[in-house]
Chains A and B, each alone.
Chain A
Amino acid sequence: MSKVIVYYAHPGQKFSRANRRMAKVARGLDGITFVDLYAEYPRHDIDVEKEQARLLAHDVIMFQFPLYWYSTPSLVKEWQDLVLQHGFAYGHGGDKLAGKTFWVATTSGGSHDAYAPNGYQHYPLRTFLTPLEQTARLCQMDFPPPYVLYSALKADEEIEIDEHAAGYSRLLYALRDDTVTLPPASNNDVLIAADLDGFLSAAKKGKSDD
Chain B
Amino acid sequence: MTDFLLLAFIFLIAGVIAVPIATRLGLGSVLGYLIAGIVISPLLAGLGVDVIAIQHFAEFGVVMMLFLVGLELEPKMLWNMRAKLLGLGGLQVIGTTLLVMAVALMFGLYWTIALAVGLVLALSSTAIVLQTLNEKGLMRTEGGQSSFSVLLFQDIAVIPMLAFIPLLAMPELMDIGADTSHAAHGTDAGHTDDHHGDDTHGDGHGPSLSLVKGLPAWAAGLVTIGAVGAVILGGIYLTRPLFRFIAMAGLRELFVAAALMFVIGIALLMTLVGLSPALGTFLAGVVLANSEYRHELESNVDPFRGLLLGLFFITVGAGIDFALLFGQLGTIIALTLGLIALKVGVLVALAYLFKIEGQDRWLFGLGLAQAGEFGFVLLSFTVANQVIPSYLADQLLLVVALSMLLTPALFILLEKVIAPRFVTSQEQEADEIEEEGDVIIAGHGRFGGIVNRMLRAAGHTTTVLDYSAGHLDMLRSFGFKVFYGDATRPDLLHAAGIEKARLLIVAIDGKDQINALVHYVRENHPQVKIIARAVDRQHVYDLFAMGCADIIRETFDSSVRTGRSAFEHLGMHPFDAELVSRKFAEDDRFILKEMALVHDADIPTSENQAYIEKSRALMAEHEAQIFGKSKAFDLQSDRGWRPPSEQDVHAVLSNHNGDA
Contact = CB atoms under 8 A, between A and B. Distances in A.
A and B found bound together? yes
Interface of A: 11-15, 38-40, 42-43, 109, 118-120, 153
B653 A15 contact: no
Given A12-B638, A109-B649, A120-B656, A39 B573 contact: yes
Given A109-B644, A153-B643, A13 B656 contact: no
A165 to B, nearest CB: 18
Interface of B: 573-578, 637-638, 640-644, 649, 652-653, 655-656, 660
Contact of A13 (B573, B577, B640): B573
Contacts of B640: 12
B643 A39 contact: no
20 contacts: A11-B637, A12-B638, A13-B573, A15-B638, A15-B641, A38-B573, A38-B574, A39-B574, A39-B575, A42-B575, A42-B577, A42-B578, A43-B578, A109-B643, A109-B644, A109-B649, A119-B656, A120-B653, A120-B655, A153-B644
A50 to B, nearest CB: 16
A15 B576 contact: no
Contact of B576 (A14, A40, A120): A14
A34 to B, nearest CB: 15
Contacts of A13: 573, 575-576
A38 B575 contact: yes
A49 B652 CA distance: 43
A95 to B, nearest CB: 33
Contacts of B656: 119-120
A40 B162 CA distance: 76
A75 B444 CA distance: 37
A12 B652 contact: no
Residue among B578, B638, B641, B644 with max Cβ neighbours from chain A (10 Å)? B641
B574 A11 contact: no
Among B638, B643, B644, find the residue whose CB has the most chain A CB atoms closer than 10 A. B643
A167 to B, nearest CB: 22
Given A13-B575, A120-B655, A153-B649, 6 more contacts: A11-B575, A12-B642, A15-B638, A39-B575, A153-B643, A153-B644
Contacts of A109: 643-644, 649
A135 B642 CA distance: 29
Nearest to A17: B643
Contacts of A119: 656
A15 B575 CA distance: 13
B644 A120 contact: no
Nearest to B644: A109
B225 to A, nearest CB: 56
A14 B656 CA distance: 30
A15 B644 contact: no
Contacts of B641: 11-12, 15
A15 B649 CA distance: 17
Nearest to B581: A42
Instruction: Find the residue from A13, A38, A42 having the highest chain B CB count within 10 A.
Output: A42
B220 to A, nearest CB: 65
B583 to A, nearest CB: 13
A21 to B, nearest CB: 15
B131 to A, nearest CB: 54
Contacts of B573: 13-14, 38-39
Nearest to B657: A120
Contacts of B578: 42-43
B649 to A, nearest CB: 7
Contacts of A11: 575, 637, 641
Nearest to A37: B575
Contacts of B577: 42
A39 B578 CA distance: 10
A11 B637 CA distance: 10
A100 B538 CA distance: 59
A154 to B, nearest CB: 9
A13 to B, nearest CB: 5
Contacts of A42: 574-575, 577-578
A14 to B, nearest CB: 7
Nearest to B660: A118
A153 B643 CA distance: 7
A14 B575 CA distance: 11
A15 B574 contact: no
A206 B394 CA distance: 118
A119 B575 CA distance: 35
Nearest to A69: B640
Contact of B642 (A15, A39, A118, A120): A15
A20 B573 CA distance: 12
A42 B582 CA distance: 11
A42 B641 CA distance: 15
A40 B574 CA distance: 8
Top 10 A-B residue pairs of the complex, sorted by shortest distance between their CB atoms: A12-B641, A120-B656, A42-B578, A38-B575, A42-B574, A42-B575, A39-B574, A15-B642, A153-B643, A11-B641
A12 B635 CA distance: 11
Contacts of B575: 11, 13, 38-39, 42
A38 B656 CA distance: 34
A14 B579 CA distance: 13
Contacts of A38: 573-575
Contacts of A153: 643-644, 649
Contacts of B652: 120
Contacts of B642: 12, 15
A159 B573 CA distance: 27
Nearest to A12: B641
A42 B649 CA distance: 30
Name, among B573, B578, B640, B655, the residue most crowded by chain A CB atoms within 10 Å (CB to CB).
B573
Contacts of A118: 660
Best-buried of A12, A38, A109, A119 by chain B (most CB within 10 Å): A12
Contacts of A15: 638, 641-643
A178 B649 CA distance: 40
A130 B656 CA distance: 24
A40 B573 CA distance: 10
Contacts of B638: 12, 15
